[in-house]
Amino acid sequence: MQVAKRELGPGIYKRLPYGLYEGIPATNSSSLRELLRSPKQYLYRKENRKESEALTLGLAAHTAILEPHRFLAEYALWDERSDNGNVRPRRGKDWDAFQAAQGAQGRRIVRADEYYLAAAMRDAVRGHGPALRYLKKGDSEISMVWDDPETRFRCKGRVDWIADDNDVPVLVGVKTARECGPRTFAAAAYRYGYHIQWAFYHDGFAATTSVQPRVIEIVVEKEAPHDVAVYQVPPEIIELGRDEYRRLLLLLMECEHTHNYPGCVPGEQILSFPAYAYDMDNDIESLGLEA
């Protein structure tokens, strides 16, 4: 769906509809993380935006968890089972009519199973004491706009939730994951560049308010029993993310200046396996086995 561009100056905006936020012409952490793969990937995603089913479910889960009273007002259920038990695919006349009617009301469409999954994750998070501590009182989906002082890029971010903890603002994120245990989630967070987002939001909030916030991430598992974990993001991880997003901003500035967006391997290079592949013989010998 095409979103009209809308200029908004630096500041914090509450209750800004997602469509209007999406239309702000500015750099966000999601686009920067595309640069981790390659500038070519960044440019393609920028020019070919498409909302996936995974993104729709993620947005639905966020609304259900953070603002449950708004969920049914913003999402419409598409029941894939008709009255006679036949499957109703998301195509054909019935689907087109349903999609048009809900789109006219500004509602996203989720399948019935997606709705029940979002509701189950909501109940798990809302029933988790450490998570509820931050969600009892606060503001959801806060949009921030600021100018990066070094590159002069207009930047934007949309914080899931902002709470207050003993007069210290807390930027609270909510993420769904296959597993929320410390080792598994830490590895996934680094792989997906979550530290870039955390630092980007931290610095964006500081730039617009002159206040240093804390950063908290609430993680809920997608599969039952929907275990929940609450993680404090420490300063050293914020610093790591800051170094990375600053490197990516400088890379983006160079790409825009040269009009060149190379792929992940611009030239020719020698292939090398990971270090553990070369230690395989030593590992076998230490076990007293023969290869």
- The whole-model pTM stands at 0.83
pLDDT tens-place string over residues 240-289: 999 999 999 999 999 999 999 999 998 899 999 988 888 655 554 554 54
Residue 2 has a pLDDT of 42
Residue range 11-258, CATH number: 3.90.320.10
pLDDT at 12 over 90: yes
Question: Which tens digit of pLDDT belongs to each residue from 48-95?
Answer: 876 655 666 778 888 889 988 888 777 877 776 655 555 566 666 776
Percentage, residues of the chain above pLDDT 70? 84
Q: Which of 27-36, 111-120, 229-238 has the lowest mean pLDDT?
A: 111-120
Query: Of 220, 218, 230, whose CA–CA distance to 121 is shortest?
Result: 220
pLDDT score recorded for residue 59: 80
pLDDT value of position 87: 55
Residue ranges per structural domain of the chain: 11-258
Q: What is the pLDDT of residues 102-116, one digit of tens each?
A: 665 667 778 888 888
When pLDDT is averaged across residues 216-236 and rounded to a whole number, the result is 97
Summary mean pLDDT of the chain: 86
In this predicted structure, the answer to whether residue 1 has a pLDDT above a threshold of 50 is no
